[in-house]
């Protein structure tokens, strides 16, 4: 029996969105993954590091998935529910989780780490990354690119200006890294297909990825949600496209 709009929305509006685990969407949405496999790339660098810092670790899921961690591992996070989840996941692995407001300065000494990582950072403070990296140290990060999932963003917010669509461009990341004295040794970007199979998946996604539609609530967007529910039932999955880039930068020895 097909589930009602009200049933799907009520479920998605009440489920926990703590951490950075999207398994609730299994069977309800799909997201094509970048070909480079960030978890594998990150794990390879961690295996060869002595002291590593993971910035904006979320719930710690990606870092905790690495088979081998270096002798010193620190993760930062700002959101209290994520801090608790990351602590539970990472402390048994010997990693320290530090509450940090995601604003300069990072609470670490100069040249403290030979590896800094970050998956999908909201902000990137390049001068701070360069400061805490030891000479010869590396920064490896997968980031959200420009106009990611903007089919969904613009469905709710309308057409966005070009400067908004272009923000988070990989060229700007390269410029920021180089201005901080880092050398970019690898840069890759891809545009990837995302599908939402029911309106509950949309509600859950927008509750979890809060910067997509700022201030999103079910009550505040009820009419658009109803229209989108009817569209998905009539036409099939709502298709959007994510953009991702991998940047690997090195601090000169």
| Domain housing 19 | 5-250
> Is the pLDDT assigned to residue 83 strictly greater than 90?
yes
Residue 245 — very low, low, confident or very high, per pLDDT cuts 50/70/90?
very high
For residue 187, what are the contacts with CB-CB under 8 A and spacing of at least 6?
170, 173, 174, 245, 246, 247, 248
Average pLDDT along the chain = 96
For residue 92, what is the DSSP state?
G
Read off φ and ψ for residue 154, nearest 5 degrees.
-75, -20
Residue 15 — very low, low, confident or very high, per pLDDT cuts 50/70/90?
very high
What's the number of domains the chain is made of?
1
pLDDT of residue 38: 98
For residue 54, what are the contacts with CB-CB under 8 A and spacing of at least 6?
62, 63, 73, 74, 75, 76, 116, 117, 118
Q: Is 195 helix (H, G, I), strand (E, B) or coil?
A: strand
pLDDT of residue 19: 72
Walk across the sheet containing 183-196 and list its strands: 29-31, 183-196, 238-250, 133-144, 113-119, 51-54, 72-77, 96-99
Q: pLDDT, tens digit, for every residue of 125-154?
A: 999 999 999 999 999 999 999 999 999 999
For residue 109, what are the contacts with CB-CB under 8 A and spacing of at least 6?
132
> Is the pLDDT assigned to residue 88 strictly greater than 80?
yes
Q: pLDDT, tens digit, for every residue of 186-243?
A: 999 999 999 999 999 999 999 999 989 999 999 999 999 999 999 999 999 999 999 9
pTM of the model: 0.89
> Is the pLDDT assigned to residue 20 strictly greater than 80?
no
Q: What's the CATH code of the domain at 26? A: 3.40.50.150
What is the mean predicted confidence (pLDDT) over 79-87? 91
pLDDT of residue 128: 98
């Amino acid at each position: 029996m097909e589930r009602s709009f009200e049933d799907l929305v009520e479920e998605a509006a009440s489920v926990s969105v703590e951490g950075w685990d999207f398994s609730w969407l299994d069977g309800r949405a799909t997201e094509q993954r970048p070909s480079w496999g960030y978890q594998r790339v990150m794990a390879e660098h961690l295996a060869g590091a002595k002291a590593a810092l993971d910035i904006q670790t979320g719930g710690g899921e990606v870092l905790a998935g690495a088979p081998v961690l270096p002798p010193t591992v620190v993760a930062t996070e700002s959101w209290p529910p994520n801090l608790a989840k990351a602590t539970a996941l990472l402390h048994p692995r010997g990693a320290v989780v530090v509450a940090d407001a995601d604003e300069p300065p990072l609470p670490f000494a100069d040249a403290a780490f030979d590896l800094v990582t970050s998956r999908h950072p909201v902000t990137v403070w390049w001068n701070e990354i360069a400061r805490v990296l030891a000479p010869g140290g590396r920064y490896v990060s997968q980031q959200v690119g420009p106009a990611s999932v903007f089919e969904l963003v613009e469905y709710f917010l309308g057409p966005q200006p070009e400067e908004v669509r272009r923000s988070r461009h990989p060229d700007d990341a390269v410029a920021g890294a180089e201005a901080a004295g880092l050398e970019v040794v690898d840069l890759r970007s891809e545009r990837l297909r995302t599908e939402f199979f029911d309106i509950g998946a949309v509600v859950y996604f927008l509750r979890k990825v809060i910067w997509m539609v700022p201030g999103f609530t079910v009550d505040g967007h009820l009419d658009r949600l109803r229209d989108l529910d009817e569209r998905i039932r009539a036409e099939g999955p709502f298709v959007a496209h994510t953009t991702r880039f991998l940047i690997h930068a090195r601090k000169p020895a």
